[in-house]
Structure 1
Amino acid sequence: MITPRLCAPAYELGECAEPVADLPELSAGSQAADLTSPSAGFVTYHWSEAPMVELMTASVHRTLARSGVPGSEIDIVLLATDSLPPGRAAHRDVSEFLAETGMSGATVMTVGLMDCATAMAAVGTAASLVRDGTARHVMVVSGDLADISTGGQRVVAGGAAVASDGAASALVSAEAAGLPVLALAHHAAPDQESGGGSAHQQLTSRMNAYREVFARLATRHPFRPARTLVLPSNFARHVMRVYLAEAGFPADRIALEGVGRVAHCQGSDPLINLADRQADTKSAAPERPAEPETYVLLGAGIAHLGAVLLGTRPLP
């Protein structure tokens, strides 16, 4: 059986960076202090005046260069985004994006409707396509602009995150060197969209969702939480630690360094955090502790969770 490899994660943030504390949405009340406190950790958010595909193009160029796979060899492109323009404008932008990245010969599909879990669903779909031999190389590209995806709101996820503009990409391949994709699990709780029930009921429902998605992941490929590092969506640090504690992950097994510098680039966060992790590992001092056995890329939205389990030892 072919083992899919996730290769060369890369990203591009919005070209403008601003302090979270200066957001107009936070100018009144105590929410600014809550989100910028050390326990939450938000410092900077990013925004862009460019169309979504410009950020995607910059990210994909990096992924192609790092993977060594030319754009002409990409079989399928999965666009995990809800931020393309409407109608024919999307077709025009995507055609230009494919031409600029050399991927014009690829079959292109969009993946959506799972909010911040969409990109992880796309990675899992790409892995299935590679595993069954349908494709050799699948490019997964995520990206969101808050002006489109959230209607311009920057404080999102019920006040637990600050939305940034950004894009990320990774190649899922049968041949290029990368991390083995071991399993995918997802969970949907449509009742969470409406915000029904008491605050306690909503919290209980979300904690149950986190427990369930990791239980499903473990049935597909066993892993040890104590030897796994979770690379999650960039929600407030204390919020993510509470949710993931329910699934058995202590605070030191959760990578939350991106919260302050990047904020919440929606579906792109796990790939951004993986790219940063790999760059940091390459430049780390020799005394850095040994890598964990597995990574979990966790895309977390209000109603959807998507988790991808990766090995940490690259396959050649």
Structure 2
Amino acid sequence: MTDGAPSPVYLSSIAFATGERLSLEALEERDGAALAGRRDLLHEQGLRHARVSGLPLPELAAASARRTLEAAAGPAVGAAVYCTDTPADTSATVDLWDFLAAVSRDDLPAVVVGGSGCGNLGPGIAAARNSVLVDGVPAALLVTVDRVKDGPRFLPGGTTVLSDGAASCLISAEPVGQGPAFRIRSLATGFQLDVEASASPLAVARATTKAVGRTVRGALAPLGLAPRDVRSVVTGNYGDTSRSFLAMAAGVDPRRALCPRLADIGHCFSADVLITLADLSERDAPPPGEPLLLLTSSARSWSAIVVEYVAPR
């Protein structure tokens, strides 16, 4: 599905909250099965630390969202989108209610977005943007939160270590707050549920490459852009090999794949891309107007979002 933005919509007031920072060595000492004996492999792929939290999901999400709301000096927030694929203790509905209560907004219309795993940010942005463009709310609060509840933290598909964390932002018709923002220019999503049906890794890689390429072209084409026009691509915090594979599937030079917090944070599920944007806002923002590709992904779904940096006012 392709959805070029008919009106300007902005992503701003980015914040995040993660669990305790642990080296991979400390994580193995705490839980020998956590990395399934893959510490050396993770080191080779650029991983050094993970973030571990025992907080309930709504509290972890609220820790990030409160920072976003405090940083926003602009229009009233009229909707919320809560993204997660972590199983709830009771239900996703109860988690949503607990989150809204924790940010003192229990009157806020809100929805839960899931089903895309570590790629939930893409559908989340689409839902928040629709609240602004279709429903006319001044701003929508978007938060994505996940953590490991059971099982190892080693993720074979991305050769990375799973971390507990949340990230949040506002989606609005105007940039919010004094900090930098990103204009959302286009968005496309893709699903292919049979990608992993084959036992052949080569067949899976070929199917994934086609699906990612198709999704990226779907986001770029309405803007008259091609992959060569993309300045940089932001992916999830996967290991070096997996991240390079995704960049090449998108048609972008792997050297342009941004992942500044990989060694420090690990893979915070669908929060990774917002965390990287927050880092870019502080240190290495792209030139205003140049296209930046956000590629969010799970094993069977992908979203490509084209944004451009807007300098602080």
Please state which band the TM-score falls in when normalised by the shorter chain. 0.7 to 0.9
> Residues 210 and 91 from structure 1, CA distance in 2 versus in 1: closer, same or farther, beyond 3 angstroms?
closer
CA distance in 1, matches of 2:142, 2:255: 29
Q: How do residues 92-131 of structure 1 correspond to structure 2 at under 5 angstroms?
A: 92-131=94-133
Residue 32 of structure 1: how far off its partner (Å): 2.6
Distance 2:249 2:95 in 1: 42
Counterpart pick for 1:212 among 210, 214, 238? 214
| In structure 1, C-alpha distance between the alignment counterparts of 2:42 and 2:26, rounded to whole Å | 8
Q: Give the deviation of 1:159 after TM superposition.
A: 5.4
Which position in structure 2 is the counterpart of 1:303? 300
SS in 1 for 2:310: coil
Q: Which moved more, 1:295-304 or 1:20-29?
A: 20-29
Does residue 189 of the first structure (1) align with residue 186 of the second (2)? no
C-alpha separation in 1, matches of 2:235 and 2:57: 22
User: Structure 2 matches for 1:188-267, cutoff 5 A?
Assistant: 188-194=191-197, 196-223=198-225, 225-267=228-270
Give secondary structure in 2 for the equivalent of 1:297: strand
The change in CA–CA distance for 1:20 and 1:252 in structure 2 (over 3 A counts) is farther
1:268 and 2:271 matched: yes
* Maintained 8 Å contact 2:158/2:238: no
**Could you state the TM-score of these two structures normalised by the residue count of structure 2?**
0.86
Distance (Å, rounded) in 1 between the aligned partners of 2:223 and 2:26? 42
For the pair 1:32 / 2:39, whether they are aligned, the reply is yes
Work out which of the residue numbers 49, 52, 55 in structure 1 matches 2:57: 52
Note the residue ranges of structure 2 that are not aligned, 5 or more in a row.
1-5
Deviations 1:62-89 (A, max 9, x none): 111222247xx3211111102252436x
Query: 2:3 maps to what in 1?
Result: none
Question: Matched residues in 2 for 1:128 and 1:35: separation?
Answer: 39
Which is worse superposed, 97-106 or 270-279? 97-106
The separation in 1 between residues aligned to 2:220 and 2:13, in whole angstroms, is 25
Shift of 1:262: 1.0
Structure ranking higher in helix proportion: 1
Tell me, yes or no, if the aligned pair for 2:158 and 2:242 is still in contact at 8 Å: no
How much does 1:252 deviate? 2.9
Q: How far apart in 2 are the matches of 1:202 and 1:93?
A: 35
Q: Which SS does the other structure have where 2:8 is aligned?
A: coil
User: Any conservation in 2 of the 1:67–1:176 contact (CA below 8 Å)?
Assistant: no
CA shift for structure 1 position 274? 0.6
**What is the Cα deviation at residue 91 of structure 1?**
4.6
State the alpha-carbon separation in 2 of the partners of residues 266 and 20 from structure 1: 21
Q: Are residues 206 and 109 of structure 1, via their aligned partners in 2, closer, same or farther at CA, if it must alter by over 3 Å? A: same
Deviation at 1:16, TM superposition (A): 4.4
Give the fraction of aligned pairs with identical amino acids, expressed as a percent.
Answer: 24
Distance 1:27 1:77 in 2: 34
- TM-score, normalised to structure 1, is 0.86
What secondary structure does 2:126 align onto? helix
Please identify which structure carries the higher strand content.
2
**8 Å contact kept, 2:80–2:141:** yes
CA distance in 1, matches of 2:164, 2:233: 22
